[in-house]
Amino acid sequence: MDTSFDLHGMTAIVTGANSGIGQGIAVALGRAGAGVAAVGRSSMDETAALVAETGAPFLAIKAELATLADIPRIVEEATAWGGRADILVNNAGTIRRADSIDFTEEDWDAVMDINLKSVFFLSQAFARHVLAEGHSGKIINIASMMSFQGGIRIPSYTASKSGLAGLTRLLACEWAGRGINVNAIAPGYFATANTKALREDEKRSTEIMGRIPAGRWGKPEDLGGAAVFLASRASDYVHGVTLPVDGGWLAR
């Protein structure tokens, strides 16, 4: 049996794992055998129950990623629990919507701090652990269609996700030779809390659906295969990629 996708014995840190995309990825990694250290600021009870069904170990870490204060503790708690940290999924994110002409500094900073700044410094903390321990590691950033396109009314979100694709490439260039793979997944239009406003806007929802060749919004579990691949030995020679999982959106 091919064991290159087997994650048994590994510990995965997944941010924003309380619901949506983060929850779907946490469950997929658990199903592949990884212990899951789920990071978020709200209840992880639902995610804990779903991961428990896979038989994988689970740890909830309560943390706030709008500042850098909790970042050292996240890696420390995960490694104390799992013995090591092998996988980091930077999924936590936020979005603010307004016309660019009216967009505020507060809305700009709130998005950039979580979507880009905390991703860099958590990746740095994770990489320092991996390098100190002398084992390999996998970092998976959750990008967006806005890593490739402009969008409308989400200037800080587009800037952060475009920046995240660039950061993924930069860290891959620096760390590939040191045993750390850095890649990203770019979800298309998924049915999550962040897209609630779009799905409730009949005109925008119709426009979006009309462009997706698969004919439906994505579900969090649709990202599981890509996440397990990028977290596993099967992707050992994959570096700096931003992989769209978009129902064919970019192909249209």
pLDDT digits (tens, 9 = 90+) for 33-43: 999 999 999 99
What topology is assigned to 11-243 in CATH?
Rossmann fold (3.40.50)
Q: 126 pLDDT band (50/70/90 cuts)?
A: very high
Res 121 pLDDT > 70? yes
Instruction: Cite the active site residues.
Output: 157
pLDDT at 176: 98
For the residues 189-217, what does the mean pLDDT come to?
Answer: 90
Helix 71-82 / helix 118-133 crossing angle, nearest 10 deg: 40
Q: Which helix (H) or strand (E) holds 74?
A: helix 71-82
Q: How far apart are CA 88 and CA 237, in angstroms?
A: 17
Yes or no: say if 42 and 92 are a contact pair by the CB < 8 Å rule.
no
Instruction: Give the CA dihedral 106, 139, 230, 172, nearest 10 degrees.
Output: 100
Share of the chain above pLDDT 70, in %: 100
Query: What is the average pLDDT score of the chain?
Result: 96
Q: Which helix (H) or strand (E) holds 184?
A: strand 180-187
The 10 Å Cβ neighbour count of residue 81 is 16
